[in-house]
Structure 1
Amino acid sequence: MSEFIDVPGGRIGYEVTGDPAGPLVVLAPGMGDLRGTYRHVAPALAAAGYRVVTTDLRGHGESAAGFASYAVGDGADDLAALLRHLGGGPAVVVGHSFSGGTAPLLAAREPALVRGLALVGPFARPVSLNPVMKSLVRLVLSTPALWGVYYKSLFKGPRPDDFPAHLAAVKANMRERGRMAAARAMGLDTKPELAGVLPKVTVPALIVMGTKDPDFPDPRAEAETVAAELGGPAEVVMVEGAGHYPHQEFPAETTDALLRFLRQVAPVGDGMSA
């Protein structure tokens, strides 16, 4: 069942499943996606005894559109507000793609709220966009149809059987007023706020990357660079054959990696549930 919190400029939609007394795990999707991107992962985490929260990004899903800003720092603020609303954590935060930048920024700004990070295909460092790349980003994020074509292209492994329904939901959501503009603002964000952030993050971290992720010239090198720059212990798991969405392409392998990590940093029954 959807729930909502008010944040400056709008509201954020989220859903809670699993054991109310279990350790808190928050799953944040990437730009241009819905919280349903975790539909094959969240039930397994809940079944393992965790209190699982899936959230929509501002401007996406059931969250409001029309915010004044959609920068990576705004996403970190939204996650902080959500965690405080849920009892203050500490939580393990799972961030994919764009949220792979908001999650470490949150951990650096609000260390008391975070006990671990799992970053899936993360844009965890500042990015550079030359004029050609900016034009391409604007084009891809100009219409739901073009975004849908690009979204599909990021899958290099098998698409789940329910992928057509999920993609249709993504495109339908993007047709709502203000949502393409929100995604476009995120896509054009070069994330300067992430400069120097990773060394400040001292909680344990897991980086999950598809070996064929087309968003990075060398996915393994990117994952290992992020791990090396983090200020705490970090593990890299490469999902063979996956593109940018290993949690959809290879949900069993991704879930196994997440559960192994969770049992280390937030074991069920350790008395630190939110």
Structure 2
Amino acid sequence: MPQDRPQITMVPTDGGPIQAYICGEGPLVVMLPSMGRGAGDFDRLATDVAAAGYRVACPEPRGLGASAAPDRQETLSTLAADVAAVITEIGDGPAVVVGHAYGNRIARMTATNHPELVESLVLLACGGFIPVTEEMGVAMRTIFDTRNPPEARLDAVARAFFAPGNDPSVWADGWHGSLARHQEQATVNTPVSDWWAGGTAPMLAVQPADDQLAVPANADALVEAVGDRVEVVVIPDAGHALLPEQPEAVAEAVIGWLEHRRAETRV
């Protein structure tokens, strides 16, 4: 995490403790990573957001770091309950919840089930409505199968997660197959209609222009579903990975939203 001596908090939950990395001071922002990946994906964004005057919490998914491994039949509601516990333990009032890719499903489920804890949502690469193509499904399976040669997995990372010409090697590692399987089961166990609208929370959808997994039609469908409750920002030259591809543009969009929401709540 971004600080030399990151604060680490263990948050008690019904399913065992969740480890969260904390940095900065100010209104709480919680960041949830992509499928099968850990909190470290937010190192750069957490640093930038904390420097802008916010307290950032990055929980490790179950089974990573010191977070308890899942020992139950997961749903997006059980994963959202973990996020609610983090907000309650760390925050002072409702939080802005940032979800990257798979994390935005958990973020929207949290806003649906625990509206009093969520001030607003930031959805980085907001998919889940338009099914992925078979080609992208094969790429995902290749990435998470450690029996495949490293070069084949990296090629799949490039095709599925990065815009043409961007360097996928920054995400050569950090893939956790067991975590991804549990998260996929949680998706199967939860109808899209349960979480898609994000409750009643205001939302910012940060849409990568070259996303092959959460294609831009997902953001269009969200606008159609909830209208002006969602604002869409398109990031050029970015694929599903987004965070390592365009860190400055992502930070600008996220911090701009946070400042807008902070001003709104002061009125």
**TM-score exceeds 0.5:** yes
SS of match in other structure, 1:235: strand
Q: Does the 8 Å CA contact 1:59/1:183 hold for their aligned counterparts?
A: no
- Is 1:186 matched with 2:171? no
- Is 1:7 matched with 2:30? no
Q: Does the 8 Å CA contact 2:30/2:98 hold for their aligned counterparts?
A: yes
Alignment partners' CA distance in 1, 2:188 and 2:136:
11
- Is 1:141 matched with 2:141? no
1:84-123 matches, within 5 Å, as: 84-87=88-91, 89-123=93-127
Change (3 A) 1:13 1:230: farther
User: What's the counterpart of residue 253 of structure 1?
Assistant: 249
1:59-208 matches, within 5 Å, as: 59-87=63-91, 89-125=93-129, 140-143=143-146, 149=154, 150-153=156-159, 154-156=161-163, 158-159=166-167, 164=170, 167-168=172-173, 170-171=174-175, 174=176, 180-188=177-185, 189-190=187-188, 192-199=190-197, 201-208=199-206
Query: AA paired with 2:146?
Result: T
Q: CA RMSD in A?
A: 3.1
134-143 vs 181-190, greater mean Cα deviation:
134-143
Q: Does the 8 Å CA contact 1:103/1:117 hold for their aligned counterparts?
A: yes
Change (3 A) 1:33 1:128: closer
Post-superposition shift, 1:232?
A: 6.0
Q: Deviations over 1:133-174 (max 9, x none)?
A: 9887666534386795344441226348xx54x644x15xx3
- Is 1:239 matched with 2:245? no
Alignment partners' CA distance in 1, 2:119 and 2:90:
15
Q: Does the 8 Å CA contact 1:17/1:53 hold for their aligned counterparts?
A: yes
SS of match in other structure, 1:63: coil
Alignment partners' CA distance in 2, 1:196 and 1:224:
19
User: What's the counterpart of residue 177 of structure 1?
Assistant: none
Query: AA paired with 1:18?
Result: G
Post-superposition shift, 1:34?
A: 1.2
Change (3 A) 1:261 1:209: same
Q: Deviations over 1:205-243 (max 9, x none)?
A: 100111111114xx2221121233237621111111111
1:10-29 matches, within 5 Å, as: 10-19=16-25, 22-29=26-33
Change (3 A) 1:255 1:87: closer
Post-superposition shift, 1:126?
A: 8.5
User: What's the counterpart of residue 3 of structure 2?
Assistant: none
SS of match in other structure, 1:117: strand
Post-superposition shift, 1:245?
A: 1.6
SS of match in other structure, 2:244: helix
Q: Which has the higher contact order (CA 8 A, sep 6+)?
A: 1
TM-score (norm: length of structure 1): 0.80
**What percent of counterpart residues are identical?**
28
Q: Deviations over 1:114-140 (max 9, x none)?
A: 11100011235486999x998876665
TM-score (norm: length of structure 2): 0.82
Change (3 A) 1:184 1:263: same
Aligned length: 255
Alignment partners' CA distance in 1, 2:265 and 2:221:
33
- Is 1:31 matched with 2:35? yes
1:51-62 matches, within 5 Å, as: 51-62=55-66
Query: AA paired with 1:69?
Result: Q
Change (3 A) 1:46 1:200: closer
